[in-house]
């Protein structure tokens, strides 16, 4: 794998697009001071993910973007793209012959990375480059003035540089990632434990609530059975009552309707009979006529009686002596009077005719008056017989005339009585019909009143039944709140309807009261809630606790796995580090002897004690714990023919040669795909430059070299020379020469 090209656009002095083609194993970048050739090395750092602006000679992100000149406007972004030849599949995770990595920044400090044109994260770029021992900074990019940085660095920083050269940074990165994961895992463990402690209290509280819910469920099961029987019986009772009331209402309404019709007919008949009928009018007329005839007859009887009395008086007066002091009444006269009065009064007693009765009474009075007059009549002196006889004859004639008239009136009365009797019979028949109508009307009114009362009672019962039905529906609704939809299953409850209907309402009321008591207990236990929320919350909380327990166990396993992984990584790191140090020392000693014509140079692991405080309970126990060591790398050199053993005693050129020998030794142990040398040969004289050039040719066998130099000896070892110039517009321009192609053209 090697670098094919580097494209720079808008980065520092490269305002316009510039493409560096690295077709040779050694490529040299040359140019006058200030032309921007060192910006190429910084562009390489930039595209490989360098985050330190200081290492790229900048303070702000904007310092990396072309800031403009007098003739050219500033750029708003900078983009650098490096292309690798991946025909040997050095990048095993990418199945392409070329791999391009691009980085683009904007003036708002935003940064983007692209892998073969697709956006990726910086982490992805670092992991990809680490797989081929390339980092953003380190041994493979040595900038101007930093050739001896490895010698000037602290032992700890020097160790990091060597680990980077050995490709061990990936282990540090994995250890760091593992530490972060471990810290996060431990934090999650603490949070899980804290949550479990909180949940434990809540579970304890919910468990009591669950016990109440279970008790409520037991009561709910009990009340469900009671509800089924109660509602089934109540449904049977209500259905039967509904049918009975409806049937009774229809029957009563029908009877009442028929009674009203019959009553209307009876009332109509009674009304007709109560009016003055033809028979009644005829009877009244006959009675009036009969009364007048009887009055006439009675008047005639009185007159005849008086005449008979006068005749009898006259006859007696004619037949008896004149001087008589005492009036003698025969028993026959008294008997006739009594017998006549008895018979007439008897007829009057059996009659309902007022006028007839009145006529009999008048007649009786007349006869009694006549009898009294006969008794108390004065005794007068007798006249002559002729006058008396004449007068007696006149009285008899008048009497006979009255008797004839009376007989005629009697015949008339008899006819009138016959007619009246007929009218009375007709009227009696009419009265009988009226009496029957009145009796029927009374009975029908009583029946109507009874039916109305029964209908009113039926209405009251229906209203009471409606309230019972409403209470039944309300009971079902309340039952559904407690039991749920299962309350509707009461219809499937098996019960004998006959026994249910034969049962008194008292046991059913007892069942209702028992249900009410259980409902009150449920209300006291659950406070009106169904308990589903409590059970759901309890189950969810228990599941949450179980999940946290499992998660905590998984976190413990994960933490232990991370600790094991960290120990394994540290062991691998230490082992490979020691092996790498041994290899570097071998190469370092060879390059050092080559550069100085002898001498010895090596790296040694140093230990520095560092006190730390106890990891446990720092606030309560601030005492210092055991000391721990911090490893570093020391450089030990011994020059030939000189008693110099420390770096501090080396001259500038000696330090430069030592740095180059060490850097080259590091690159030989784990050769990177390419090596960038930015004027690392500036301090070398001509003799050492040749040695430097020989080492470059030797290194080129293992790594691609990109050399930024002014040294002619170094230039002579390059296959491609890229020239960088800068004109008045302050923009770096590129000019490249391929010596192999030039040689071919020359031949």
The pLDDT value recorded for residue 380 is 47
**Which residues are CB-neighbours of 192 under 8 A, at least 6 positions away?**
548, 551, 552, 555
- Residue 720 tokens read as 């491609």
pLDDT of 253 higher than 80: yes
Report in angstroms the alpha-carbon separations of 705 from 138, 450, 629, 675, 718. Answer: 15, 130, 38, 5, 9
Determine the pLDDT at residue 610: 60
Higher pLDDT, 718 or 419: 718
Say if residue 425's pLDDT is above 80. Answer: no
d(Cα 710, Cα 353) in Å, to the nearest integer?
177
Single out the residue of 370, 372, 389, 367 nearest to residue 327, CA to CA. 372
304 close to 396: Cβ distance less than 8 angstroms: no
User: Half-sphere exposure of 313 toward its Cβ, with a 13 Å CA cutoff?
Assistant: 22
* Reported confidence tier of residue 156, pLDDT bands at 50, 70, 90: confident
pLDDT value at 434 more than 70: no
- pLDDT tens, position by position, 335-379: 677 777 777 777 677 666 666 677 777 777 777 777 776 666 544
3-state SS, residue 609: strand
The CA distance from 165 to 633, in Å, is 14
Rounded Cα distance between 567 and 175, Å, is 9
Distance from C-alpha of 710 to C-alpha of 689, rounded to nearest angstrom:
11
More confident residue, 496 or 143: 496
What does pTM read for this prediction? 0.48
The answer to whether 391 and 382 are in contact (CB under 8 A) is no
Can you tell me the distance from the alpha carbon of 665 to that of 639, in angstroms, rounded to the nearest whole number? 17
Coil, strand or helix at 597 = coil
What is the model's pLDDT at position 618?
45
Phi and psi (nearest 5°) for 700?
A: -65, -20
Query: How far is CA 263 from each of CA 266, 446, 448, rounded to the nearest angstrom?
Result: 5, 10, 9
Q: Are 373 and 307 in contact (CB under 8 A)?
A: no
Quote the CA–CA distance of 12 and 63 in Å, as a whole number.
7
Query: Tokens in use for 38?
Result: 């060192």
* Residues whose CB is less than 8 angstroms from the CB of residue 215 and which lie 6 or more positions away in sequence, other chains included: 525
Question: Which position has the higher pLDDT, 611 or 156?
Answer: 156
Average pLDDT value for residue range 404-421: 81
Q: Which residues contact 275 (CB under 8 A, 6 or more apart)?
A: none
State residue 528's pLDDT score. Answer: 53
CA atoms within 13 A on the CB side of 334: 5
Encode pLDDT of 199-233 as tens digits.
Answer: 888 888 888 878 877 777 777 777 778 878 888 88
Strand partners, 11: 14, 65
pLDDT top residue among 421 and 64: 64
Alpha-carbon dihedral sign for residues 247, 250, 251, 253 = positive
DSSP readout, 683-729? T--HHHHHHHHHHHHHHTTTSEEEEE---HHHHHT-SEEEEEEE-TT
Q: How far is CA 549 from the centre of its chain?
A: 30
Mean pLDDT of the chain: 80
Task: Tell the residue number behind the tokens 């985050």, with chain if given.
Answer: 51
Q: Which two tokens stand for residue 593?
A: 């002897």
Between CA 221 and CA 717 the distance in angstroms is 99
Number of other residues whose CB lies within 10 A of the CB of residue 245: 17
DSSP state of 63: G
The model's pLDDT over 531-562, given as tens digits with 9 standing for 90+, comes to 677 778 888 888 888 888 888 899 899 999 98
Q: What angle do CA 150, 152, 155 make, to 5 degrees?
A: 75
The pLDDT value recorded for residue 379 is: 45
Rounded Cα gap, residues 502 and 493, in angstroms: 18
Please tell me the distance from the alpha carbon of residue 265 to that of residue 694, in angstroms, as a whole number: 151
Question: Strand pairing partners for 675?
Answer: 705
Which strand (E) or helix (H) includes residue 675? Answer: strand 674-678
Q: How far apart are alpha carbons 118 and 104 in whole angstroms?
A: 13
pLDDT at 619: 47
User: Read out DSSP for 238-288?
Assistant: HHHHHHHHHHHHHHHHHHHHHHHHHHHHHHHHHHHHHS--HHHHHHHHHHH
For residue 61, give the nearest of 41, 82, 76 by alpha carbon: 76
Q: Which of 15-29, 130-144, 208-222, 280-294 has the lowest mean pLDDT?
A: 130-144
Q: Where are the domains of the chain?
A: 276-322+329-429
Determine the average pLDDT of the residues in 15-41. Answer: 90
Q: Which long-range contacts (CB under 8 A, 24 or more apart) does 213-217 make?
A: 213/526, 213/531, 213/534, 213/535, 215/525, 216/522, 216/525, 216/526, 216/531, 217/531
Tell me the pLDDT tens digit for each residue of 575-633: 988 888 898 898 888 888 887 888 888 888 887 666 555 444 444 454 445 555 667 88
What pLDDT shows up at residue 79? 96
CB neighbour list of residue 511: distance below 8 Å, 6 or more residues apart: 226, 229, 230, 233
Q: Percent of the chain scored above 90 by pLDDT?
A: 11
> Percent of the chain beyond pLDDT 70?
84
Q: How far apart are CA 311 and CA 477, in angstroms?
A: 114
Helix, strand, or coil (residue 203):
helix
What is each CA distance from 516 to 223, 357, 521, in whole angstroms? 9, 84, 9
What average pLDDT does this structure show over 142-154? Answer: 71
Give the DSSP per-residue string, 165-184: HTT-HHHHHHHHHHHHHHHH
Helix (H, G, I), strand (E, B) or coil at 736: strand
Inter-residue contact 229 to 397 (CB < 8 Å): no
More confident residue, 139 or 455: 455
Classify the C-alpha dihedral 648-654-656-659 as positive or negative: negative
Condensed to tens digits (0 to 9), the pLDDT of residues 67-121 reads 888 888 889 999 999 999 998 888 888 888 999 999 999 998 889 999 999 999 9
Residue 223 Cα distances to 535, 583, 733, angstroms: 20, 88, 96
Q: According to the model, what pLDDT value does residue 324 have?
A: 45
- pLDDT attached to residue 117: 92
Report the pLDDT value the prediction gives residue 10, as an integer from 0 to 100: 93
Q: Three-class SS of residue 321?
A: coil
Report the pLDDT value the prediction gives residue 747, as an integer from 0 to 100: 47
Instruction: List the end-to-end C-alpha distance of the chain, in Å, as a whole number.
Output: 31
Other CB atoms within 10 A of residue 520 CB:
10
pLDDT at 7: 95
> Residue 78: enclosing H or E segment and its boundaries?
strand 77-85
């Amino acid at each position: 794998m090697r670098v094919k090209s580097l494209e720079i656009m808008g980065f520092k002095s490269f305002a316009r697009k510039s493409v560096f083609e690295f077709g040779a194993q050694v490529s040299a970048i040359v140019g006058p001071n200030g032309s921007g050739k060192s910006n190429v090395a910084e562009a390489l750092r930039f595209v490989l993910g360098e985050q330190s602006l200081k290492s790229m000679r900048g303070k702000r992100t904007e310092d990396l973007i072309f800031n403009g000149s007098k003739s050219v406007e500033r750029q708003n972004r900078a983009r650098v793209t490096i292309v690798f030849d991946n025909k040997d599949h050095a990048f095993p995770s990418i199945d392409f012959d070329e791999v391009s990595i691009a980085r683009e920044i904007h003036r708002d400090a935003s940064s983007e990375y692209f892998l073969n044109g697709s956006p990726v994260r910086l982490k992805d770029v670092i992991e990809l480059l680490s797989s081929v021992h390339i980092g953003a900074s380190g041994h493979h990019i040595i900038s101007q003035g930093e050739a001896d940085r490895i010698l000037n660095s602290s032992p700890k920083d020097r160790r990091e540089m060597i680990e980077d050269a050995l490709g061990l940074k990936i282990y540090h990165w994995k250890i760091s990632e593992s530490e972060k994961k471990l810290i996060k895992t431990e934090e999650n463990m603490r949070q899980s434990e804290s949550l479990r402690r909180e949940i434990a209290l809540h579970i304890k509280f919910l468990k009591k609530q669950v016990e109440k819910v279970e008790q409520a469920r037991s009561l709910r099961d009990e009340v469900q059975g009671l509800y089924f029987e109660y509602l089934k019986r109540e449904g049977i009772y209500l259905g039967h009552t509904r049918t009975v009331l409806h049937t009774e209402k229809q029957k009563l309404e029908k009877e009442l309707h028929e009674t009203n019709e019959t009553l209307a007919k009876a009332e109509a008949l009674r009304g007709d009979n109560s009016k003055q009928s033809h028979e009644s009018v005829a009877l009244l007329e006959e009675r009036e006529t009969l009364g007048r005839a009887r009055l006439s007859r009675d008047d005639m009887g009185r007159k005849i009686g008086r005449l008979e009395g006068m005749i009898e008086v006259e006859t007696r007066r004619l037949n008896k002596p004149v001087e008589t002091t005492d009036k003698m009444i025969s028993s026959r006269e008294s008997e006739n009077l009594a017998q006549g009065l008895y018979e007439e009064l008897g007829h009057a007693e059996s009659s309902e005719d007022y006028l007839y009765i009145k006529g009999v009474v008048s007649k009786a009075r007349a006869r009694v008056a006549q009898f009294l007059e006969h008794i108390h009549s004065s005794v007068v002196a007798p006249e002559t017989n002729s006058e008396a006889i004449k007068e007696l004859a006149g009285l008899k004639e008048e009497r006979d005339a009255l008797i004839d008239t009376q007989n005629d009136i009697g015949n008339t009365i008899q006819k009138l009585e016959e007619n009246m009797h007929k009218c009375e019979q007709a009227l009696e028949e009419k009265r009988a019909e009226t009496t029957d109508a009145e009796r029927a009307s009374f009975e029908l009114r009583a029946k109507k009143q009874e039916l109305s009362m029964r209908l009113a009672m039926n209405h009251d019962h229906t209203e009471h039944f409606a309230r019972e039905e409403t209470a039944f529906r309300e009971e079902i609704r309340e039952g559904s709140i407690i039991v749920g939809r299962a309350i509707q299953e009461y219809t499937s409850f098996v019960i004998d309807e006959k026994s249910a209907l034969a049962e008194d309402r008292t046991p059913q009321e007892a069942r209702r009261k028992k249900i009410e008591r259980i409902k009150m207990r449920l209300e006291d236990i659950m406070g009106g809630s169904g308990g589903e929320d409590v059970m759901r919350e309890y189950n969810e909380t228990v599941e949450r606790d179980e999940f946290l327990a499992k998660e905590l166990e998984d976190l413990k396993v994960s933490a232990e796995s991370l600790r094991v992984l960290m120990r394994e990584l540290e062991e691998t790191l230490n082992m490979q580090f020691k092996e790498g140090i041994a290899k570097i020392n071998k190469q370092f000693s060879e390059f050092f002897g080559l550069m100085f014509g002898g001498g010895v140079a090596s790296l040694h692991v140093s230990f520095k004690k560092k006190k730390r405080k106890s990891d446990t309970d720092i606030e309560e126990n601030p005492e210092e714990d055991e000391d721990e060591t911090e490893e570093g790398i020391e450089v030990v050199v011994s020059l030939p023919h000189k008693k110099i053993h420390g770096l501090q005693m080396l001259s500038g050129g000696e330090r430069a040669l030592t740095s180059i020998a060490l850097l080259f030794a590091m690159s030989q142990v784990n050769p990177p795909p390419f090596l960038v040398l930015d004027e690392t040969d500036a301090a070398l004289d001509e003799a050492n430059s040749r040695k430097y050039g020989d080492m470059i040719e030797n290194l080129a066998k293992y790594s691609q070299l990109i050399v930024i130099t002014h040294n002619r000896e170094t230039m002579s070892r390059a296959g491609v020379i890229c020239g960088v110039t800068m004109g008045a517009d302050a923009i770096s321009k590129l000019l490249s020469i391929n010596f192999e192609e030039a040689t071919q053209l020359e031949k």
